[in-house]
A = this chain, B = another copy of it.
Amino acid sequence: MAKQKPRTLSGFMELLPEKQAQFDRMMALLRRSYSLYGFTGLDTPVIEASEVLLAKAGGETEKQIYRFTKGDTDLSLRFDLTVPLAKYVALHYAELAFPFRRFQIGKVYRGERAQRGRFREFYQADIDIIGDGKLDITNEAEIPSIIYKTFTSLGLKRFQIRVNNRKVLNGFYSMLGLTEKSGDIMRTVDKLEKIGPEKVKDILTGEEVALTAGQADEILRFIAIKGSNAEVLSALEGYLGRDEIFDQGLSELKAVVKYLSAFGVPEANFAVDLTIARGLDYYTGTVYETFMTDHPEIGSVCSGGRYDNLAEYYTDKQLPGVGISIGLTRLFYVLEEQGMLNPQLNTAPADVLVLPMTEDLSAAISFATLLRDSGVRAQLYTEQKKFKQKMSYADKLGVPFVAFLGEDEIGAGSVSVKDMATGEQVTLPVSEAVAKVKQAVAADEAVAPIREV
């Protein structure tokens, strides 16, 4: 028979078992972390009606959409988890309790140009808190504290959550009489880290944005405000009293900084950064970006902010919210590239490979059952192979333990357990063997998937 050459599409991540186990551990820790903060897990369809999904989209996004017809229906694959959330909340408004806190970890699709490290199918891991009409400022401080805890639980230490407030920026531009140009200005300032202050000034005073040199300097001076959070806030107080929006933004920013400390986020892991604006127009208050200290070139690995109208394309209800998103597939790719996936993580499919050494499998089956009932992952190996091949299989899987049950062991109600890392082999009563392995498994479960060196 002619064979079809198997392949996986470029831009689609498909992992080998060990790497998949590492990825899955990260996902499980994210789910756990989000759940501990009272977020409910949602799962919306990957396919939506195009007119619903694209109610808002336009420009660059629309070109990237996977869009097609099936029968008479115009369908699209979701390109983020925010639009489906907006649809969900508008559709099920009457049945939800607000504030509505949801997390969603799911695949999204963007037909980007194929490029190393760029994915067309990738996981996003989002949390959002949606209010009905109003939403307290505390939520804007809680979100980054959740990110802090979540990243820490993954094993990351050297990262910084940078916080700004769009009202501070908008208010400042209003002081300069530049409100109408604030979108252009923010998009330009957003590039500061990449292109430097001089190029930013060039663009600001260029044909398109058309600021005076004085205005551009004032903007560059403003976004150059640096220092500890207290110092930045204090410098900002110098601008108070000139614009109502600015004053409100500064008061929000101060509240966020105050509560972030209360939530236990160390100063080293967050900073007020006036250059952060976020490209998207719909953020209206606090905005966040998160950078890995040793890898600023990667850009933000977790971004988000406060918005006033989640679902304005679907409903008249005002639904303010705050949320963040982690691009999980890209983060994983980067961590692997940087050698930051922890090799200590147990990524084997089982904790124990049980090798029956007798024709009758009853003792081996009982032992495997006992292990599983104790929460230990056990694989029974019953293929007719030479002993050496069995051990080489255990090696290849990377199982931490192999358990042998021969005539002697069965007669004595014991089992021989080999620690594959140390090579040490001991014969123990069955219950002690289970306890020994269980202890090792518990230690394994405390290992973080990311390691910083």
- B-contacting residues of A (Cβ < 8 Å)? 1, 3-9, 12-17, 20-21, 23-24, 35-49, 51-52, 55, 66, 68-71, 73, 75, 86-88, 90-92, 95-97, 99, 101-102, 107, 109, 111, 121, 131, 134-136, 138-139, 142, 149, 259, 262-264, 311-316, 349-350, 353, 361-362, 365, 369, 372, 375-380, 382-384, 393, 396-397
Query: Which among B6, B43, B68 is the interface contact of A90 at CB below 8 angstroms?
Result: B6
Given contacts A1-B312, A38-B378, 6 further A-B contacts (CB under 8 A): A3-B314, A9-B73, A12-B45, A14-B43, A38-B380, A138-B380
**Sampled A-B contacts (16; CB under 8 Å):** A3-B315, A6-B87, A8-B44, A8-B45, A8-B48, A9-B47, A9-B49, A17-B96, A20-B40, A23-B43, A36-B378, A37-B377, A66-B75, A135-B383, A263-B365, A264-B369
Residues on the B chain within 8 Å of A315, using CB: 3, 6
Residues on the B chain within 8 Å of A13, using CB: 45
Please name the residue on chain B nearest to A38 by beta carbon. B379
Residues on the B chain within 8 Å of A369, using CB: 263-264
Point out which of A68, A362, A396 has the most chain B C-beta atoms below 10 A from its C-beta.
A68
Residues on the B chain within 8 Å of A380, using CB: 38, 138, 142
B70 touching A111 by the CB < 8 A rule?
yes
Residues on the B chain within 8 Å of A313, using CB: 1, 3-4
CA distance in complex: A47, B46 (Å)? 11
Number of copies: 2
CA distance in complex: A75, B121 (Å)? 13
Q: Across chains A and B, which 4 residue pairs bring their CB atoms closest together, nearest first?
A: A38-B379, A68-B68, A38-B350, A40-B349
Please name the residue on chain B nearest to A99 by beta carbon. B383
Residues on the B chain within 8 Å of A263, using CB: 365, 369
CA distance in complex: A97, B40 (Å)? 38
CA distance in complex: A87, B106 (Å)? 23
Q: How far is the CB of A185 from chain B (nearest CB, A)?
A: 26
B45 touching A362 by the CB < 8 A rule?
no
B70 touching A66 by the CB < 8 A rule?
yes
Residues on the B chain within 8 Å of A382, using CB: 136, 138-139
Residues on the B chain within 8 Å of A4, using CB: 51-52, 55, 313-314
B45 touching A17 by the CB < 8 A rule?
no
Please name the residue on chain B nearest to A350 by beta carbon. B38
Please name the residue on chain B nearest to A371 by beta carbon. B36
Residues on the B chain within 8 Å of A92, using CB: 16
CA distance in complex: A195, B197 (Å)? 79
Please name the residue on chain B nearest to A49 by beta carbon. B9
Query: Which among B17, B40, B138, B397 is the interface contact of A102 at CB below 8 angstroms?
Result: B17
Residues on the B chain within 8 Å of A43, using CB: 14-15, 20, 23-24
CA distance in complex: A23, B131 (Å)? 25
Please name the residue on chain B nearest to A146 by beta carbon. B372
Residues on the B chain within 8 Å of A376, using CB: 36
- Given A3-B313, A40-B20, A350-B38, the answer on whether A97 and B393 have CB atoms closer than 8 Å is yes
Please name the residue on chain B nearest to A89 by beta carbon. B6
Please name the residue on chain B nearest to A2 by beta carbon. B313
A17 touching B46 by the CB < 8 A rule?
no
Residues on the B chain within 8 Å of A362, using CB: 262
Residues on the B chain within 8 Å of A42, using CB: 17, 20
Please name the residue on chain B nearest to A259 by beta carbon. B361
Please name the residue on chain B nearest to A71 by beta carbon. B111
